[in-house]
Amino acid sequence: MCYKMPEIYQPEEDSYLISEVLKKELPKILKFNHELNFLEIGIGSGINLKAALKSGIKKENILGTDINEEAVNHCINLGFDCIKSDLFDKVNGKFNVIAFNPPYLPEDEKEPVDSRRETTGGEKGNELTIKFIQEAGDYLKENGVIFVVTSSLSKRIGFDYFGYNAEEVGHKNLFFEKLSVWKLEVK
């Protein structure tokens, strides 16, 4: 993840990692439920909405949100149902799969304030992700799963403490950080 102008987050290593994980994991879940519905929080350029579609999820079962209106309008133009929402604020209903590649970097005074929305997860970096996992349980269907990205640059999250079984289903070692994708299931 690197600092950006405040338009739409363009795919980086984190985006490619989670989109590849989704393309590997979603078909396995679809085998048991052809009608599964998918929610992505923080859609950015739409890379993961496209991964969900490519994996076989029906377009009408895909919903995307972002706090950034430009990202929402961009993904609506790609043909996806999307709404502007701060995490789950404007989300209704429950989902089989919820994905989030969150802003996860710790606050850095050198970063322009405008671009922090795409990159900064809070003082320690993990605050927004913790808020997400605390709220996500209310929007998961029974046996639903969450896919979420973390970075070794932000404070580690004890998923167990928040009531989830966590499995690392993908990772990438960069020279300065390790990115992980976690599959979370409510205990």
Ligand X SMILES: C[S@@+](CC[C@H](N)C(=O)[O-])C[C@H]1O[C@@H](n2cnc3c(N)ncnc32)[C@H](O)[C@@H]1O
Closer residue to ligand X (CB): 13 or 160: 13
Q: How far is CA 119 from the centre of its chain?
A: 13
CA dist., res. 135 & res. 143, Å (int) = 16
Closer residue to ligand X (CB): 48 or 180: 48
Position 150 contacts ligand X (CB under 6 A): no
Position 86 contacts ligand X (CB under 6 A): yes
In the range 99-138, which residues lie near ligand X by CB under 6 A?
Answer: 101-103, 117-118
Burial class (CB in 10 A: 0-12, 13-18, 19+), 88: middle
Interaction mask 30-69, ligand X, x per CB under 6 A: -----------xxxxx-xx----------------xxxx-
Position 96 contacts ligand X (CB under 6 A): no
CA dist., res. 179 & res. 163, Å (int) = 22
Radius of gyration of the chain (CA): 15
CA dist., res. 81 & res. 159, Å (int) = 30
Residues at the contact surface with ligand X, assessed by CB under 6 A: 9, 11, 15, 18, 41-45, 47-48, 65-68, 71, 86-87, 101-103, 117-118
